[in-house]
Amino acid sequence: MTVQMNRPTLSALALLISFVFLSQSDVSAQALSLPEGGVNHKSWAGRRVGVTDVEVRWNAPGVKGREGQIWGTNVAHYGYTVLGFGSNGASPWRAGANESTTISFSTDVSIEGQKLAAGTYGFFIAAYPDSCTLIFSKNTAGWGSYFYKPELDALRVTVRQQKGLPESRERLEYTFSGQTDRSVVIALEWEHWRIPFKVEVGLTQTALASIQSQMSGALGFDPPSLQAAAQWCLANDVNLDEALVWINSATDPNLGGATTFAALSTKAGLLRKKGNTKEADATMETALANASVFEMHGYGRQLIGQKKYKEAFAVFERNFQKNGDTWPTHVGLMRGYSAIGDVKNALKHARIAVAQAPDDLNRDALQGMIKTLEEGKPVAQ
């Protein structure tokens, strides 16, 4: 008997067969993820330096009782050697285990004073008894350094390692130390060796590029963000023309017209740097009219820092007239009188302020200033 199948049945059968084959293909293309044996630990570490993200990824081997048998052996060989297993070129040490160690930088950096572009690099080391050549390679996908090609080197830097460290580090680690807002020291540490190298960033350039990128998006319509971006430029004396555009937008009535002391004083500072003194003075006058007692006090301290002592005294006096008999206004007048050389009146207001101090920390600081003033000396500004 012949079984006839209609078109819908044939179509369904074809779809089912296709699904089975596709599913098998998809499964065979994937690798089953199982726990690792733990011989070489997969590791990563990173830091943000300024606005630059730095990350190292490596497989961490252990010493495993091989004290004194790590460096200059087949574990971490010196210089360049042919590793075999299909590799015919001389290779440096892989600076880890298994896959290539990689190091990435989100912006351009300097390594030991030499420039390196933003990106991810394979990291190798040609180690010697008294120095190490650090190699940043464009090849990031290799298995260790087996197929190392010197023509792919982006940068080589020679450093001196620290040997004979008192405590042995069992697992190879990349550590970060001595960090500032512009640099950090990265070090490979294993057994009794430490191989450090300094990474530096161009903080002003990278931060400005990051700010400009952010301001080109939704934050470019947000008055607080516009004000913060402009203030950063003012403080760092960069990008003043664009900063003035940002602060003008922040104070634009169509965007809410920010009239805070912070926004208006930033605008005044930018106008002054651009040589528009008349508008700067008018803007600062409006800013002071909107300032709190602490904002006026802070501005007076800023003027003292700029050695504009008479202008600072005028601000402290205005703060007292506006906000009356309060602890910050008396502290301000103490500093103002001291700055213009009137120690007697500075001492008078210091004694009033110490009785009004809000906590022991400020009270103790004022008592130290009173002692200085009683000796006829001005207080440190």
Tens-digit pLDDT profile for residues 76-110? 999 999 888 877 889 999 999 999 999 999 999 99
Indicate the residue type of 121. Y
What lies within 8 Å, CB to CB, of 136 at 6+ separation is 103, 111, 116, 121, 122, 123, 153, 154, 155, 156, 157
DSSP conformational letter for 304: H
Is 157:134 a contact under the CB 8 Å cutoff? yes
| AA identity, residue 73 | T
Average pLDDT, the chain: 90
Q: pLDDT tens across 255-294, in order?
A: 787 889 999 999 999 999 999 999 999 999 999 999 999 9
The stretch 338-349 carries a mean pLDDT of 95
**Which of 241, 285, 237 lies closest to 265, judged by CA?**
285
- pLDDT score of 160 more than 60: yes
Q: Domains in the chain and their CATH numbers?
A: 41-201 (no CATH), 205-374 (1.25.40.10)
Residue bearing the bigger pLDDT, 5 or 160: 160
**What pLDDT is attached to residue 32?**
67
pLDDT of residue 353: 95
